[in-house]
Amino acid sequence: MNWLYVLLGAMVGAPLRHLTDRAVQARFGTAFPWGTFTVNVAGSLVLGLLAGAAAAGVAGSELQLLLGTGLCGALTTYSTFSSETLRLAESGTFGYAAANVLASTAAGLGAAFAGAALAGAVWP
């Protein structure tokens, strides 16, 4: 039955990723992969919050499967991040490629820590 939680979360995460990516690209353009950056940082925040909630004992395994594995697994994407960074480098925009790697890593980790800290404040 665990697979059903993953499936349900992914059914929300995948379209949410696509729609968010398109909305962000429409607003900010495609020179820099802001859509992928946005979904990856948002997913990191949710995963940090979920990890903190699990550590506090308020998020059971079903919720972790639904939100962590399903929703965030479908929402976030390391492969697209990698291919977009490669595309930037191949097109000669090395500054954007380096910025994508550095900003995505720093913002993703920062969001995960912020989520965990928020969970710790809500569920001490």
Q: Which residues are annotated as a binding site?
A: 73, 76
- The enclosing H or E element of 114 equals helix 94-122
State pLDDT tens for residues 44-101: 999 999 999 999 999 999 999 999 999 999 999 999 999 999 999 999 999 999 999 9
Give the count of beta carbons closer than 10 Å to the beta carbon of residue 123: 14
Token output for 90: 């191949």
**Prediction pTM value:** 0.94
Residue set of the binding site for Na(+): 73, 76
* Radius of gyration, CA atoms only, the chain: 16
CA distance 108 to 13: 17
Q: How far is CA 11 from the centre of its chain?
A: 15
Which has the closest alpha carbon to 6: 78, 80, 75, 109? 75
